[in-house]
């Protein structure tokens, strides 16, 4: 694709993002974005480090988990060397990411259960790296391009790495899942982002390119009155 053609494809995106954010504060756009999570499934983690599932109780059968809920777990996930706090963030990330469907979560839990000590250690290491080096953090969970733990593909590992930032607008890790890739493809027409619906894995190179584009779009969409952060671009992509 020529530079002129590329520019014509992406020119509309900053206006879309700016209009979508509108007059809303970051707290509304990001921190309050959450879901009602039924608890019945999550009895599966009873007795495991990081249980019970974090969240704001709604009634006896459900909790509310927002991005803000997960941000509150981040500092401990990064600093608790036991790995238990990283697991607590991980369970809540899975719940937030799948909602009531819990699609593949039983397999994800069982993959961790089989080696809980190493899992806590690796997740804590990745959480700590997430604030400094997003690509090293990504590779910690996907060494040599393979998932470190079964069923923990990039769509969910990047959620964990994002939440480990605690809501810092400058946090370098962002969520890059199928919705984000679809938006990135629509914006850029880059065939590297055109993942088939059944393909849930990608390498660190794709992650780097999407993060770069998020950052560029955030800068282009920002105004003197309202600075837009990279995760707000991701949030727009989720909705768009």
Residues 47, 89, single domain; the answer is yes
Range of the domain at 132: 33-151
The first and second tokens of residue 184, run together, are: 């990135």
Q: 67 and 13: one domain?
A: no
Residue 160 lies in a domain: no
Same domain, 140 and 66: yes
Helix (H, G, I), strand (E, B) or coil at 26: helix
DSSP secondary structure letters along 58-93: EETTEEEEEHHHHHTTHHHHHH-TTSHHHHHHHHHH
Rounded Cα distance, 126 and 161, in Å: 7
Confidence at residue 198, expressed as pLDDT on a 0 to 100 scale: 43
Say if 162 falls within a structural domain.
no
User: What pLDDT is attached to residue 11?
Assistant: 56
Joined tokens for residue 91: 């369970």
- Give pLDDT tens digits along the chain (240 positions): 444 443 444 457 889 899 999 999 999 999 999 999 999 999 999 999 999 999 999 999 999 999 999 999 999 999 999 999 999 999 999 999 999 999 999 999 999 998 999 999 999 999 999 999 999 999 999 999 999 999 999 999 999 999 999 999 999 999 998 887 887 777 777 776 666 644 568 899 989 988 998 999 999 999 999 999 999 999 998 887
Same structural domain, 126 and 39: yes
CA angle 212, 223, 214 (to 5 degrees): 15
**Structural domains of the chain, count:** 2
């Amino acid at each position: 694709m020529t530079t002129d053609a590329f520019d014509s494809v992406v020119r509309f995106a900053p206006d879309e993002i700016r209009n979508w954010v509108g007059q809303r504060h970051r707290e509304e756009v990001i921190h309050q974005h959450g879901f009602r999570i039924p608890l019945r499934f999550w009895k599966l983690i009873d007795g495991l480090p990081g249980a019970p599932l974090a969240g704001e109780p709604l009634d006896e059968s459900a909790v509310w988990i927002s991005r803000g809920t997960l941000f509150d777990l981040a500092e401990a996930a990064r600093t608790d060397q036991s790995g238990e706090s990283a697991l607590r963030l991980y369970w809540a990330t899975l719940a937030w990411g799948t909602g009531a469907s819990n699609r593949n979560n039983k397999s994800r839990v069982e993959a961790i259960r089989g080696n809980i000590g190493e899992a806590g250690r690796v997740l804590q290491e990745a959480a700590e790296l997430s604030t400094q080096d997003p690509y090293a953090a990504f590779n910690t969970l996907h060494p040599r391009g393979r998932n470190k733990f079964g069923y923990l593909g990039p769509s969910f590992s990047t959620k964990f790495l994002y939440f480990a930032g605690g809501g810092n607008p400058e946090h370098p890790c962002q969520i890059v899942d199928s919705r984000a890739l679809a938006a990135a493809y629509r914006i850029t027409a880059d065939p590297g982002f055109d993942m088939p619906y059944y393909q849930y894995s990608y390498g660190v190179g794709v992650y780097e390119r999407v993060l770069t584009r998020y950052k560029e779009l955030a800068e282009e969409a920002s105004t003197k009155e309202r600075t837009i952060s990279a995760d707000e671009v991701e949030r727009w992509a989720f909705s768009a």
